[in-house]
Amino acid sequence: MKWIWERPDWPNFTFDVAAFTHLEREFHRNTGLILGSFSGMSSDDMDELRVTLLSNEALDT
């Protein structure tokens, strides 16, 4: 895989909007589900989730 700046079309990218429409809709739907789930969480639960997510990210990198 090439770095983005190694691509021949750098920096003039093009993309097919229709190819991303489904993905964009799915992203927005999932965002709503996540935000809805967060609304039912307590402050302590949110803090615990943040620590867990940050810890997992640190371990993964």
* 15-57 residue pLDDT tens: 889 989 999 999 999 999 989 988 889 999 999 999 999 999 9
Whole-number Å distance between alpha carbons of 20 and 22: 6
Q: Does 61 have pLDDT greater than 90? A: no
Provide the pLDDT for residue 58.
95
Provide the pLDDT for residue 32.
93
Q: Calculate the alpha carbon distances from 13 to 4, 9, 10, 16, 44 in Å.
A: 10, 6, 6, 11, 44
Q: For the whole model, what pTM was predicted?
A: 0.52
Q: Does 14 have pLDDT greater than 90? A: no
